[in-house]
Chains A and B, each alone.
Chain A
Amino acid sequence: MNFSNILNEIEKIDPEVYERTSGRRHLLKSFGAKVAVAALPFALGSLFKKAYGQTSGDIPGVLNFALTLEYLEAEFYATAIASNGLIPSGAASGAIATIGGHEAAHVNFLKTAITASGNMPVGKPNFDFTAGGLFPDVFSNYATFLAVAQAFEDTGVRAYKGQAGNLKSSNDVLTAALNIHSVEARHASHIRQMRKNNNQGNVKPWITGNQSGIGSPAVQPIYDGEENTTQAGLQITNINSSGVTADAASECFDEPLEKQQVMSIVGPFIVP
């Protein structure tokens, strides 16, 4: 299956397809080579919706928000991998390479999808991973690096979760976002295990109460609200006399964050 061929086929039927979609004909034509097969249903679905006038809310806005977060994560891991002596060789290096690879793939996927829908991907911001000096040794101290990684992954999970409802009008885009969301959660789980193995406290793969397990109070907004034990008006603690503790009740549901909350969390890492 080749994306360029599909566009060419459409062009034969509808010569204005490129103009309808974005007018950036050369950009569209260049996708074919880059976009992976799994991206196609999503890219095409969005493209057609946009081109033929079916409204879909502010889906491009949501995708650009996601792209900004993925730029942050991708550059964070790429910088860490390039920092000599930061990540121990072996399992740790392998895991960070896996995670970094996923984040880079998410960047490519989102850029492709946004462009294919006739919109412009936001540019990559300049990042300051010390957050203005808050984490000065983020790329020289393994423990600090892992703490910031956990903060980013747990934020990512909450950010995607908070946007799911805004993507409801497009099944393909929603499914793609959900399929990224769970990968971020897998990352978060692994980074948390890496921190436990690195003797950075009794960090569990899941979030207990609103505990960050990180010394810096700056990360607390990432965890505020996670202590919630009421879902859809139902109290989960000891539900149906099950013996579910308040800790377990908070752990077993991850909570969303709104876009504004996420942007204020990642704001210190973005150079204005």
Chain B
Amino acid sequence: MKQDTLPASAETAQPQGFSRRKFLSVAGLGLAGATLTASCKKDNPVLDGQDVDLGGGDTGILNYAYALEQIEAAFYSSVMYNMYVGMTAAEQQMLNDIKMHEIAHREFLKNALGSKAIPALTIRFDGIDFSSRDSVLGAAKAFEDLGVAAYNGAGKLIEDVNYLLLAGKIVSVEARHAAYIRDLISNGSFADNTVIDSNGMEMSKPPAEVLSIAGKFIKDRISANNLPTD
């Protein structure tokens, strides 16, 4: 556990109001976590600025999805641990739902990949002010839109139709999230022309483009060199 990631307990913590005292206690836990990691590194390798190869074939695509879900799950865990000023009860409920969805996606992909899963990535959220509603929702919108574009762009790269279906089961939930977050920012922007083209279709993105955007939230260097390209 790195200092710039949340303690594992953040994921299971119940949503509570933000306070300065709690912020300090989070920092303390983070330090404690760092010590803990050092002592059990053999069992649970955490990379520090190393290369992580997603692999090839369907494994590579699933690891690609796993990397993105790791970012999303870590992001919403931070959001709910450190709630922005003025979060309404309804927002709290929905954002906590999204957090649990992303954790479920991440854990599902981890288990589905088994021994072929990439390690837990070191996620960082430089530039996001978790106390600010605008900053948090702006980042959430970027993550959700990116997730939808990524799954859509990766569909054709998947060989096994069962994995294709699973990706389809996840991407529509990401799209539901994206629309909700967008409407929180500006009601009616759920499917505007920054993400939907003149044919009424989502603008999907290939892995290289997605990773160039997502990469700045990952301390490790992700290699997509072995991913299928068509």
Contacts and interface: CB of A to CB of B under 8 A. Distances in A.
B169 A204 contact: no
A164 B172 contact: no
Contacts of B173: 185, 206, 251-254
B196 A183 contact: yes
A248 B100 contact: yes
Contacts of A50: none
Nearest to B161: A165
A184 B101 CA distance: 19
B194 interface: no
B137 interface: no
Contact of A175 (B94, B155, B192): B155
A36 B97 CA distance: 38
Interface string B132-172: 00000000000000001001110110000110111011111
A175 B153 contact: yes
B116 to A, nearest CB: 14
Contacts of A108: 199
B12 A174 contact: no
Contacts of A98: 188, 190-192
B183 interface: yes
B227 interface: no
Nearest to B193: A98
Contacts of A38: 197-199, 201
A109 to B, nearest CB: 5
Interface in B178-227: 178-180, 183, 187-188, 190-192, 196-204
B146 to A, nearest CB: 12
A74 B57 CA distance: 38
Contact of A102 (B148, B164, B176, B196): B196
Contacts of B101: 206, 248, 251-252
A161 interface: yes
A232 B112 contact: yes
Contacts of B162: 232
A20 interface: no
Contacts of A160: 168
Identify which of A165, A179, A239 gathers the most chain B CB atoms within 10 Å of its CB: A179
A256 B168 contact: yes
Contacts of B177: 189, 205-206
A171 interface: yes
A255 interface: yes
B176 A231 contact: no
Residue among A186, A206, A245 with the highest chain B CB neighbour number at 10 A: A186
Contacts of B174: 182
B100 A178 contact: no
B79 interface: no
Contact of A189 (B12, B180, B200): B180
A164 B165 contact: yes
A109 B197 CA distance: 12
A194 to B, nearest CB: 10
B107 A175 contact: no
B94 A239 contact: no
B104 interface: yes
A236 interface: yes
Contacts of A175: 152-153, 155-156, 204
- Across the A-B interface, give the 10 residue pairs with the lowest CB-CB distance, nearest first: A105-B200, A102-B200, A185-B175, A189-B179, A252-B101, A185-B172, A165-B161, A179-B201, A171-B156, A189-B176
Interface of A: 36-39, 91, 94-95, 98-99, 101-106, 108-109, 157, 160-161, 164-165, 168, 171, 174-176, 178-190, 193, 204-206, 231-232, 234, 236, 239-240, 242-245, 248-249, 251-256
7 contacts: A36-B199, A164-B165, A171-B230, A185-B172, A186-B179, A231-B108, A252-B104
Interface of B: 11-12, 94, 97, 100-105, 107-108, 110-112, 148, 151-153, 155-156, 161-162, 164-166, 168-180, 183, 187-188, 190-192, 196-204, 230
